[in-house]
Amino acid sequence: MGNNLNPTPLLFNDVYFSRWEESIFPSRSIWAPFPRLPAELRLRIWLLPLQQHRMIEVDLYPTTGDNDTPQYADRNHLGRIVSGRSRSYTSRLRGRGSYTASLTSLLRVSREARAAALSFYHIHLPLGTGQVLYLNPEYDVVYVRPRRPKPINRLPPETDPDPEFGAILVDFLHDARPTITRTKVSHLALDGEIRHYLLGWFEERVNLTPEMLHSAAATSFADILRYKLRSLLCVVDFRGSTRGMGAPPLGGGWRSHFAQTFPLRRRGHVIGAFHWLQADPRPGVELDLRQLPIKDDPHLMLRNWQRLEHLFGVTRNQQATRENDDDYGFCLYVCPTKDWSTLDIQRIDGAGTWNEREIEAEAEAVWSRDELAQYLQYEAEDWDKKRWYLARVFGGTRQSPKYSSDSREEAEIFEAMEKLPCTAIGMWLFPAEAFPLPTNPQLLSFNLSAVRPSLLLFQV
């Protein structure tokens, strides 16, 4: 997380990965006779540090060029047909220094180590920058984001439709397909904007249809949906400027509560390893999940995704086959994470305004522990203000409690949370089917206390 080695503020990530590294690497000693090991064992050792998840954020830019170039007629160096849309879109990794960070050091250790790394990252995807992105679809999550060629006022796609982004995404996915036919595991993450280009914003509709695509593109996309895509991570933001939920809205059924376990989004360098924990181990998660307000409707998201699959010929029978086969299983995850930045503090406090260039620079910046500490301090001060406001609203003379607890047992859990760092850099993963009806439909607030989400936890 930048070059700042100061462990403050301490995160759950620090505690977890410190213990994990101690268990995996109990000794840092070097064993000199390594070259005398059998080749098969040396290969397993080379691959060991590579066998971990990474989330790689890729920006897709539409470009103005010769759109009459024949599509799906060119072949790459392996002889595979590619989209051929290099003149109409380009791709690059988000963030300064991200490409260098994506390259494993094994590429420079020895010929044997380099060969092992290239065989592991068997997808070699050309970027618009002239560089090559090395991917392994079993471990890497590609997080795709659309980028407009010039700053404009962002409007919902229903009022500002741009179907080209949907076609560009399909072409990108085709070019990034595994080159080894037996590889059937792929993970894709989409932010709200590109997801809305595909599935609509508020309505039950699909913005991408086979008729909008080249016939080869439509066939390729249908094959990806049937066999290649293992998980779709739909990244959504929590409602509210911070994790502190203050005055109850109209309609009741609202807890004034500071949700400490709500995960914060990773920012800055966008190439990094993470652990996919099947169940979030932090104390207090189930209490914070009694009230989960998010900005997108999971039910609408799931229905529209199923409509998209149906349009491309993925039937319910095929879905059942995938669910009963480990190789073909698919899950649509709703992934809440709190977006944050130092610009948010300026906006909320009214201490300044910024333009599109400043927002772009903020998105590219590699954030430091100091910036995180500044944001967490702002969250704490903001919650203090909200607690005094709540006390005045209800005629009290003492500050409202930090957490909403119904019993002494719950209060003890919150006390334990204060002793063990519970703030995490990552995101939750909920199967879309796990969402019940909202307890507060106006705010899309859900009670998910009966569900233990997975936690995608970044190494920071």
pLDDT digits over 422-446, tens only? 999 999 999 999 999 999 888 899 9
Written as one letter, the residue type at 450 is A
Q: How many CB atoms lie within 10 A of CB 232?
A: 21
Tokens coding 232: 């779709």
pLDDT band at residue 349, thresholds of 50, 70 and 90? very low
CA dihedral 326, 285, 372, 366 (to 10 degrees): 10
Question: Has residue 51 got a pLDDT over 60?
Answer: yes
**Rounded to two decimals, what is the model's pTM?**
0.86
For residue 154, give both structure tokens. Answer: 């962002």
Band of the pLDDT at 4, cuts 50, 70, 90? very low
Residues 305, 318: Cα–Cα separation, whole Å? 15
Q: pLDDT tens digits, residue range 62-71?
A: 776 555 566 7
What is the reported pLDDT for 13?
93
- Express each pLDDT in 167-198 by its tens digit: 888 888 888 875 544 445 689 999 888 888 88
* Alpha carbon distance 250, 347 (integer Å): 25
Window from 128-137, 141-150, 319-328, 427-436 with minimum mean pLDDT: 319-328
Query: What's the pLDDT score for residue 165?
Result: 79
- State residue 262's pLDDT score: 97
* pLDDT confidence tier of residue 86, bands split at 50, 70 and 90: low
For 322, phi then psi, to 5°, come to -65, -40
Does the pLDDT of residue 282 top 50, yes or no? yes
Q: Which of 38-47, 89-98, 151-160, 225-234 has the lowest mean pLDDT?
A: 151-160
Please enumerate in sequence order all residues whose Cβ is within 8 A of that of 455, keeping only pairs 6 or more positions apart, or say none. 263, 277, 279, 280, 281, 282, 424, 426, 427, 428, 429
Tokens of 294: 């998010």
Is the Cβ–Cβ distance between 335 and 189 less than 8 Å? yes
Residue 181: the pLDDT is: 44
Q: Is the pLDDT of residue 362 over 90?
A: no
Is the pLDDT score of 150 beyond 50? no
pLDDT band for position 3 (cuts 50, 70, 90): very low
Q: Cα angle vertex 76, ends 73, 77, to 5°?
A: 145
**Residue 316 has what pLDDT?**
57
- Evaluate whether 396 touches 387 at the Cβ level (below 8 Å): no
Question: Is pLDDT above 50 for 5?
Answer: no
Residue 289 — very low, low, confident or very high, per pLDDT cuts 50/70/90?
A: very high
Higher pLDDT, 292 or 157: 292
pLDDT higher than threshold 90 for residue 285: yes
With vertex at residue 241, the alpha carbon angle to CA 151 and CA 418, rounded to the nearest 5 degrees, is 140
* pLDDT, the chain, mean: 80
Locus of tokens 């201490």: 351
pLDDT at 361: 60
Q: Which residue has the higher pLDDT, 129 or 230?
A: 230
CA dist 60 and 372 (Å) reads: 28
Give 91 or 1, the one with higher predicted confidence: 91
Please check whether residue 432 is in contact with residue 199, taking contact to mean a CB–CB distance below 8 angstroms: no
Tell me the torsion sign for CA atoms 140, 327, 169, 91: positive
Using pLDDT thresholds of 50, 70 and 90, give the confidence band for residue 302: very high
Closest CA to 138 of 170, 184, 188: 184
Predicted pLDDT at 160? 47
Question: Stretch 117-130: mean pLDDT, rounded?
Answer: 86
Rounded CA separation 113/121 (Å): 12
What pLDDT, on the 0 to 100 scale, is given for residue 158?
A: 41
Give pLDDT, residue 410.
92
Tokens of 178: 């595994």
List 400's β-bridge partners, or say none: none
Contact 268, 362 (CB under 8 A): no
Q: Distance between alpha carbon 106 and the CA centroid of its chain, in Å?
A: 26
Q: Out of 110-119, 278-287, 354-363, which region has the weakest mean confidence (pLDDT)? A: 354-363
14-50 tens-digit pLDDT: 999 998 887 776 666 666 787 888 888 888 888 888 9
Question: Is the pLDDT score of 7 beyond 70?
Answer: no
| Predicted local confidence at residue 334, as pLDDT | 96
